[in-house]
Structure 1
Amino acid sequence: MHHKLFFTGRYKGYNLQAFQKDLISGVVVGVIAIPLGMAFAIASGVKPEYGIYTTIIAGILISLFGGSKFQIGGPTGAFIPILFGVVMTYGFENLLIAGFMAGVILFFMGVFKLGSLIKFIPRPVTIGFTTGIAVIIFVGQIPNFLGLSNVKKHELFYFNVKEIIVNIGSISIFSIITATICLLTVIYTPKIFPKVPGPLIALVLSTLIATYLYPNQVATIGSMFGEIPSKLPNFQIPSITYDRVIELLQPAFVIAVLGAIESLLSAVVADGMTNSKHNSNRELIGQGVANMVTPLFGGIPATGAIARTATNIKNGATSPLSGVIHGIVVLLVLVLFAPFASKIPLASMAPILMVVAWNMSEQRVFYHVLQTKTADSLVLIATFLLTVFVNLTVAVEVGLVLSVIFFIKNMSDIMVTEKALPNPKNKHEKVESIIVTDTHDCPQISIYNIEGPLFFGAAQTFEQTIMSTINYKPRVLLLRLGGVPFMDITGESHFSSIIKDFSKHGVVLISGIKSQPKRVLQKTGLYDVIGEEHFFNHTGDAINYAFTHINKNKCIGCRHLAFRECSYFSEVHDKITEKKVVQTT
């Protein structure tokens, strides 16, 4: 791929001052990313160093090849329940293969320009599953916070809660002290020292207190996972077989879709903070490249991280170089300080993840959508509960299906098919439905106002409405389609049966048809069946044409006077009758 494709315009006018800003923001974000990388890895059921490897490799690649200038990539909280599920079900090596496959899927999503498709996921679904994931992460950290022992990790939320209740007797006061110190530091550091990275200070402080005041009293990374190696991982290609690919297709797809949603949401947030514009398809290609390379070094799936991206921007980042620097900083820390990381208590990791969970939960938006008491509230609750109690895949599928069903119902409710006539009281004789009554309705010309999309959800009702009211067989059926923005094949099929049924004894006229329904009728051949001369831009012209097709004798004695012209027809009839009476006398 030509290098210009990747670097056009992103470093325009780049200078030493910009580099200094990138250096500062890169260092700050790198320092924040270290505890998060380890915490996310542990919560996902893998060794902490794999979180670090992901932060380094994916962080650098996402910045280099992504579509946002400010995006910081790495392991994120959103992935925790999925990755943990994959590790539990398929094992660590298969997680790497699923991650690699997800990278391939993301890459091709970008190549085939599917970045815009993510916008079609309704907000209640994304809020529902994000808040659900936050609850899973938060509850998952309670055992480490309280220092419970013998807690087995399960895939299902219900069993994890049960484990906490069963083992609640094994609380460690030292763990609670360590976790509380860490939690308070994470919460209050940004308020007192806004520029200082809270999570790192919290980790260092609580680790020092635990190591020197009550050594060997709390479980640490070292005691649980062994020493963290201070070297880069070995490059290794996992053994990908056809059977494994088929088996892992579903988790890979879920990782890819969630990665796409997360990274594009993060890129949108970055756009809002900087008044810039990201390239969503290129972002997906960058995410794809990163997720294909990372598993080869034992890294877990990565995506754009909203909180780290926001921190990057707040610290003055000017280009993707800050993301590259953040990866290099993490690498240096790994090489220089890995042995110290092994002393970090798990109780210090818990509050950091709890704060991440709290920040990602969008509780305000969640509550706001609930208050609307609409179909969206139902979608939100369903997605949330299914995420927590079943899994993310089922939650998103059900959330999307419910959203579609409610959308179809709302669209079909919008569909209105009403009989109408020109209103003589209106200056322009507007054609309105309110003035049609049993005593004021033309027996020969039936006019219908049709409004709303004529699609599969509304087509049958539309046909039944018209068929049931034209059983007295008028001469002319005039359909006003100005309010129909869209017609699908189901709509066309019901429309067609009205036309064919009515054409046996009368004439169908159509006025004000929009371009999309017109194209559909032309493609199916119904346009020619109706006849070019029966389509009108204005209802007035259609009504004038209709008068040439009615039986004037039937106007004799008609008292409906539905149109202005009716009085003229009656007058002519009355004069003819008078003439006949005079002649016979």
Structure 2
Amino acid sequence: MKLDLSNLRGDITGGVTAGVVALPLALALGVASGLGPMAGLYGAIAVGFFAALFGGTPSQISGPTGPMVVVLAGLFASLSGDASLIFTAVMLAGLFQILFGFLGIGQYIRLVPYPVISGFMTGIGAIIIILQLSPLLGHDSPSGTIGALSYLPTALSNIDYATLGLGIGSLIIALKWPPALGKYIPGPLAALIIGTLVALTMSNIPVLGDIPTGLPSLHMPVFEQSMFWLVLEAAFILALLGAIDSLLTSLVADNMTRTRHDSKKELIGQGIGNTVAGLIGGIAGAGATMRTVVNIRSGGKQRLSGMIHALVLLAVVLGLSPLAANIPHAVLAGILVKVGLDIIDWSYIKRAHQGPRWDFALMVLVLGLTVFVDLITAVGVGVVLAALAYVRQVAHLQIEELKKIPETLNDPEENALLAKAKGKVNIFSFGGPLSFGAAADLGHHVREKVKPGSQVLILDFARVPAMDVSAAMAVENVTADAIAAGRTLFICAASKEVQQVLDGINAHQSGVQVFETRHQALHKALEVIDSKKSDKASAVSGEMAQAS
């Protein structure tokens, strides 16, 4: 693949800066996953390099992210720390993402409603913070959100104040590091260096310990029948979550660079990166918003910047791993709390009271499900409820359109024909696409609006671009009601697509006539009324003749 070297200086600066920012996060997220700091670095290298090389967002920096680590930590607990199965899940997640890319799934991921995205991202931020509370207090972190919350009273009853002070100090440095200094040393890196140096003067502070150096070894996929479905489910969740995370970051990059990403290529690139990460013993990753913003602001624009970021981390792995052995767990916990705080959607939470209550309620529901159930359930329930709410809203508008049938039409000639009918013709004009949401109430509202003396019903589909089977079945019920009541029913102005749906389920019952225009239907309606009037007059004459 040909690299664009037109922004070489900016890409080198952006890549090096992003690599420095990524170092403490990769170490911290690796530890949080349960697989260790080196797994975090290997994941950052693999995903960062290959997602940049093959992806569809040139300025994006990829690597371990909070959402992915939350899933991996849960899987680590479920599999009792079996690393080979976890790396298999990471590889499968990569293959799923490659498949998503070829199938064009990215365009559908963008349809996830904002309150759902806000809810599960805020939930992930909350989970990261909850899981770091015990390490901040000087204890090992229990597995799972419920376990961490349950253990919290025990941890609070036996606080290691030295560890707590070190962790909170690291958090404050990461949060409050002056922007002017941040140009040279990012806040998280400053917290890592200062926290580690302070810890060297203290005793009995838990640290990372020995970290292997050199190139990683290969981890071939392992399949155990008893764990297969658990691994497969985790792989799918990782793939889906990573795809959402990456494409959201791609949108941020688009806004900053005034470009447009290629979602298919982006998912394929992320998939290749995660597949390689699993092979070399790295954790799964995705597009990382903060690191991408740092890269762009530092001058990075092309894919070379993401590759350089990964090479910076590779250099650390090859030569500086012994230094990382002295990093305290509390310092990484403080940095991770900042990561969690950054993930929480504060901007929406501050303005939620000004928007629709339903959207905020949906966000809170997804947040709760994310924290206390699992991510896939949270997103699934959120999307389904949001879709049902949207369908209900559209259905309401469709029924309102039906209620707003004008007594007079726009065409003077049609008005004259309608006046001649003297209230014996009812026209029902449907507006917009007709879907299953409106189908349940469609027949009820037509029956409600039919005038007692009406002899002919005209269903006007001129403003209906599409309809589904449920709506067509509702039309069939309206037709059956009309025929049972002795009325004549006409259908007019239906498009070819609508006509096909009606014909496909035999919504046209015998005796129902179809017209191309409403004008033609009105002419025929008057003929039917005149014919019924003549038939009635003939019947009356016959009765009088018999009586005489």
TM-score (norm. length: structure 1): 0.83
Give 1:111-260 correspondences, 5 Å limit.
111-146=102-137, 148-149=138-139, 151-155=140-144, 157-196=145-184, 197-211=186-200, 213-214=201-202, 216-222=203-209, 227-241=210-224, 244-260=227-243
RMSD value, Cα? 2.8
Which residue of the other structure, out of 338, 347, 370, is the alignment partner of 1:364? 347
Q: Against the structure 1 CA distance between its residues 338 and 524, is the aligned structure 2 distance closer, same or farther, given a 3 Å change threshold?
A: same
Q: Hey, what does 2:96 align to over in structure 1? A: 105
CA distance in 2, matches of 1:260, 1:430: 55
Which residue of the other structure, out of 85, 92, 104, is the alignment partner of 1:94? 85
CA distance in 2, matches of 1:131, 1:422: 52
Partner of 1:479, secondary structure, is strand
Which residue of the other structure, out of 480, 483, 491, is the alignment partner of 1:510? 491
Q: Hey, what does 1:329 align to over in structure 2? A: 312
Moved more, 158-167 or 57-66: 158-167
Q: Against the structure 1 CA distance between its residues 184 and 46, is the aligned structure 2 distance closer, same or farther, given a 3 Å change threshold?
A: same
Q: Hey, what does 2:34 align to over in structure 1? A: 45
CA distance in 2, matches of 1:152, 1:77: 16
Partner of 2:369, secondary structure, is helix
CA displacement 1:270-329 (0-9 Å, x = unmatched): 001000111001111111111111111111111111111111111101210011101110
CA drift of 1:242 comes to: 5.5
Q: Hey, what does 1:392 align to over in structure 2? A: 375
Whichever residue aligns with residue 47 of structure 1, its letter is G
Judge conservation of contact 1:132–1:385 (CA < 8 Å) in 2: yes
CA distance in 2, matches of 1:292, 1:387: 26
Higher relative contact order (CA 8 A, sep 6+): 2
Q: 1:459 aligned to 2:449? A: no
CA distance in 1, matches of 2:377, 2:408: 54
Q: Against the structure 1 CA distance between its residues 134 and 23, is the aligned structure 2 distance closer, same or farther, given a 3 Å change threshold?
A: same
CA distance in 1, matches of 2:510, 2:531: 27
Whichever residue aligns with residue 392 of structure 1, its letter is L
Whichever residue aligns with residue 494 of structure 1, its letter is A
Judge conservation of contact 2:480–2:509 (CA < 8 Å) in 1: no
Judge conservation of contact 1:74–1:303 (CA < 8 Å) in 2: yes
Judge conservation of contact 1:40–1:75 (CA < 8 Å) in 2: yes
Q: Hey, what does 1:418 align to over in structure 2? A: 403
Give 1:390-539 correspondences, 5 Å limit.
390-416=373-399, 417-418=402-403, 420=405, 422-423=407-408, 442-470=422-450, 472=452, 474-502=454-482, 505-514=486-495, 516-524=497-505, 526=507, 534-536=515-517, 539=518
Q: Against the structure 1 CA distance between its residues 532 and 325, is the aligned structure 2 distance closer, same or farther, given a 3 Å change threshold?
A: farther
Which residue of the other structure, out of 274, 282, 299, is the alignment partner of 1:291? 274
Partner of 1:446, secondary structure, is strand
CA displacement 1:390-446 (0-9 Å, x = unmatched): 22122112212221222222222222233845439x895998xxx99xxx9944211
CA distance in 2, matches of 1:84, 1:327: 23
CA distance in 1, matches of 2:360, 2:31: 34
Q: Hey, what does 2:543 align to over in structure 1? A: none
CA distance in 2, matches of 1:195, 1:429: 75
Q: 1:266 aligned to 2:249? A: yes
CA distance in 1, matches of 2:29, 2:50: 19
Which residue of the other structure, out of 321, 325, 342, is the alignment partner of 1:342? 325
CA drift of 1:34 comes to: 0.9
CA drift of 1:372 comes to: 2.3
CA distance in 2, matches of 1:171, 1:441: 88
Judge conservation of contact 1:419–1:447 (CA < 8 Å) in 2: no
CA distance in 1, matches of 2:240, 2:496: 35
Judge conservation of contact 1:174–1:217 (CA < 8 Å) in 2: no
Moved more, 302-311 or 192-201: 192-201
Q: Against the structure 1 CA distance between its residues 430 and 353, is the aligned structure 2 distance closer, same or farther, given a 3 Å change threshold?
A: farther
5+ unaligned residues in a row in structure 2: which ranges? 535-548
Judge conservation of contact 1:499–1:530 (CA < 8 Å) in 2: no
Q: Hey, what does 1:551 align to over in structure 2? A: 530
Judge conservation of contact 2:98–2:268 (CA < 8 Å) in 1: yes
CA drift of 1:85 comes to: 0.7
Judge conservation of contact 1:522–1:528 (CA < 8 Å) in 2: no
Q: Hey, what does 2:288 align to over in structure 1? A: 305
5+ unaligned residues in a row in structure 1: which ranges? 556-585
CA distance in 1, matches of 2:404, 2:159: 74
Bigger Rg, which one: 1
Judge conservation of contact 1:444–1:474 (CA < 8 Å) in 2: yes
CA distance in 1, matches of 2:446, 2:67: 51
CA distance in 2, matches of 1:473, 1:111: 60
Aligned residues: 527
Judge conservation of contact 1:419–1:448 (CA < 8 Å) in 2: no
Moved more, 392-401 or 293-302: 392-401
Q: Hey, what does 1:83 align to over in structure 2? A: 72
CA drift of 1:116 comes to: 0.5
CA distance in 2, matches of 1:23, 1:503: 77
Partner of 1:509, secondary structure, is strand
Judge conservation of contact 1:518–1:527 (CA < 8 Å) in 2: no
Judge conservation of contact 1:231–1:334 (CA < 8 Å) in 2: yes
Partner of 1:458, secondary structure, is helix
Judge conservation of contact 2:421–2:529 (CA < 8 Å) in 1: no
Judge conservation of contact 1:476–1:509 (CA < 8 Å) in 2: yes
CA distance in 2, matches of 1:83, 1:414: 44
CA distance in 2, matches of 1:451, 1:175: 66
TM-score (norm. length: structure 2): 0.89
Q: Against the structure 1 CA distance between its residues 500 and 180, is the aligned structure 2 distance closer, same or farther, given a 3 Å change threshold?
A: closer
CA distance in 2, matches of 1:473, 1:87: 73
Partner of 1:449, secondary structure, is strand
Partner of 1:83, secondary structure, is helix
Identity %: 30
CA drift of 1:534 comes to: 1.7
Which residue of the other structure, out of 374, 383, 389, is the alignment partner of 2:357? 374
Q: Hey, what does 2:540 align to over in structure 1? A: none
Q: Against the structure 1 CA distance between its residues 143 and 68, is the aligned structure 2 distance closer, same or farther, given a 3 Å change threshold?
A: same
Q: Against the structure 1 CA distance between its residues 429 and 89, is the aligned structure 2 distance closer, same or farther, given a 3 Å change threshold?
A: farther
Whichever residue aligns with residue 267 of structure 1, its letter is S
CA distance in 2, matches of 1:369, 1:513: 43
